[in-house]
Amino acid sequence: EIVLTQSPATLSLSPGERATLSCRASQSVSSYLAWYQQKPGQAPRLLIYDTSNRATGIPARFSGSGSGTDFTLTISSLEPEDFAVYYCHQRSNWPLTFGQGTRLEIK
Amino acid sequence: QVTLRESGPALVKPTQTLTLTCTFSGFSLSTGGMCVSWIRQPPGKALEWLARIDWDDDKYYSTSLKTRLTISKDTSKNQVVLTMTNMDPVDTATYYCARIRSVPPGYFDYWGQGTLVTVSS
């Protein structure tokens, strides 16, 4: 099973700042990695798929990069609605797995 | 417009079998490339993928839970059913169903709102 390790566990930033979230896989997932955003009481929302492709309706301030085992989600300038929990997810190998999440909180 | 909705008991007793139903609209599981998965999330914890069923009836399960899970579909009713046997308090979680397509994006692009299942005697 591929383990996805996200860092940091919590990230405290202010609106307007740049956020960088990391996801490391225990073995290569090629480019088959996605990012989801989850707000309290809501289902996750797909942000980025296959490492760097924005899902439908996702603002351009969200971008993804990486390959193999190391991936990054970047939010270029934080908006108030961006403070949430973010999960990475791989579909390279069965079983599908998620990271443990990064909580992005307002500083 | 794609929608999914989970339904099932809010409370089950330890050792009982849980049956959850995902009722969806806006797509058909008889269409090539369509798939539905179940994912759960214990309170305050991370997401955990459970199972997936494909349009061609292929099925995939979590390695750690495969002996307890069964996923099935009723294409005529637009429903996917998940059963989980021998429930335990650690199975307390919000259970989500979500759609995947084999074409891009190829990930969970639509989710239900989730249903909280509590396991307690």
Q: pLDDT tens digits, residue range B41-73?
A: 999 999 999 999 999 999 999 999 999 999 999
Instruction: Give which of A3, A35, A96 to mutate to test B binding, by max B Cβ within 10 Å.
Output: A96
Contact assignment for B106 to A99 by CB distance below 8 Å: no
Query: What pLDDT score was predicted for residue B105?
Result: 77
Cβ–Cβ < 8 Å for A80, A16: no
Cα distance between residue B115 and residue B96, in whole Å: 7
Asked whether residue B87 carries a pLDDT value surpassing 80, the answer given is: yes
Q: How far apart are CA A79 and CA B104, in angstroms?
A: 27
Please check whether residue A3 touches B, CB under 8 A: no
DSSP label at residue A80: G
Residue-level pLDDT at A24 = 98
Which residues in chain B touch residue A31, judged by CB atoms under 8 angstroms apart?
none
* A1 contact residues in B (CB cutoff 8 A): 63
Residues of chain A in contact with residue B98, where contact means CB-CB under 8 angstroms, are: 43
Q: Assess contact for A12 and A19: CB atoms under 8 A.
A: no
The string of DSSP codes covering B48-116 is: EEEEEEETT--EEE-TTTTTTEEEEEEGGGTEEEEEE-S--GGG-EEEEEEEEESSTT-S--EE---EE
- Given a cut of 90, is residue B10 above it in pLDDT? yes
Query: How many whole angstroms separate alpha carbon B85 and alpha carbon A62?
Result: 40
Q: Please provide the average confidence, as pLDDT, over all residues in chain A.
A: 97
Taking only the tens place, the pLDDT of each residue in A38-90 is 999 999 999 999 999 999 999 999 999 999 999 999 999 999 999 999 999 99
Return d(Cα B68, Cα B85) in angstroms, integer: 5
Predicted pLDDT of residue B103: 82
Residue range B89-118, pLDDT digits in tens:
999 999 999 999 988 778 999 999 999 999
**B113–A98 CB contact, under 8 Å:** no
For an interface test with A, give the residue of B4, B38, B108, B109 to mutate (most A CBs within 10 A): B108
Q: Do the strands B18-25 and A10-13 form a parallel or antiparallel pair, or are they unpaired?
A: unpaired
